[in-house]
Amino acid sequence: MVSEKLQQLQNEIEQAMKEDIDNSKVGKLLENYGLVDKLVKAQYIINLTRIDSIAIKDQEMKEALKTLPGQEIVIASCCFCPRCCKC
């Protein structure tokens, strides 16, 4: 259950990142410079050291994050390019 919850979080963040870049000024900027073929990669980093000090509404997610080793989770999208990501 823990791994499913974390995988769902990662999938939703990756999808949101792709949608955000497609609908952003950054996406248009990349397109203007011809950077449209999976050349740009971005990531989010979740700081696990702050889990106890922030209000996480989903208690199951909070517990799942506590089970992970290390101090951060890196969630990266496979690629970013305006209106072309099919990864």
Report the interhelical angle of 25-32 vs 2-22 (nearest 10°).
Answer: 60
Report the mean per-residue pLDDT for the chain. 75
What does each of the 87 residues of the chain score in pLDDT, given as a tens digit? Answer: 567 888 888 888 888 887 777 777 877 887 788 776 666 677 888 887 877 767 788 888 888 888 888 888 887 765 555 555 554
d(CA 33, CA 46): 30
DSSP 47: E
The structure's pTM equals 0.63
Nearest to 73, CA basis, from 16, 13, 20: 13
Q: What's the pLDDT tens digit per position in 42-60?
A: 788 888 787 776 778 888 8
DSSP 78: S
Domain ranges of the chain: 2-76
